[in-house]
Amino acid sequence: MSSLLSPSAPLLGRRRLDLAYPSASPRRGGLHCPQPIKALSSADPPKETPVKTTTEATQPPAPSPPKRPVYSMKKGQIVRVDKEKYLSSINYLSVDHPPYYKGLDYIYEDRGEVLDLRIFETGEYALIAWVGIPTAPAWLPTYMLIKSEKLDYERI
């Protein structure tokens, strides 16, 4: 017991760690040992670069990143739905409405805000949320939306 408490007998000294874990030792070779770096003087002539072969020269250039789409509207813009275009659209005709039903008046009269814009296979669509109307936003084609020049327009 007295040998354990004496300062001359370390329990986990550097020597024991090196023997127990040889990969953790900084004195041994491996990934921890830096490779020597050769310094070049400015008087040394630069090495010639190898000439590209014909197969390397004929490769097409790397593809450029895809271009950002150009939208007809901006996010946050105030819009209304054109009633004639909506009533003759596939969006309205795909749902089996009664013959006397002409849609919800708030989409034609109240202001809607553009939340998001996307280009799908069928065209450009906008996610519209109506201000002050407790209803879910709807994806509508942008061709049937009427842009508002000012933010506070009067209800029709």
Q: What's the confidence (pLDDT) of residue 66?
A: 75
| Residue 128 scores a pLDDT above 90 | yes
| Residue 146 scores a pLDDT above 70 | yes
Higher pLDDT, 132 or 129: 129
Q: What's the confidence (pLDDT) of residue 30?
A: 53
Q: Which residues pair with 126 in a beta bridge?
A: 117, 140
Q: Buried b vs exposed e over 111-142: b needs ≥16 C-beta within 10 Å?
A: bbbbeebeeeeeebbbbbebeeeeeeeeebbb
- The fraction of the chain above a pLDDT of 70, given in percent, is 60
- The fraction of the chain above a pLDDT of 90, given in percent, is 19
Only one residue has tokens 């197969």, namely 55
Q: β-pairing, 123-130 with 78-81?
A: unpaired
Higher pLDDT, 10 or 116: 116
Query: Which run of H or of E encompasses 5?
Result: helix 2-5
pLDDT in tens, 29-79: 555 556 777 766 666 566 666 665 555 556 667 777 777 777 788 899 999
Q: What's the confidence (pLDDT) of residue 108?
A: 85
pLDDT in tens, 94-120: 878 787 887 778 888 888 999 999 998
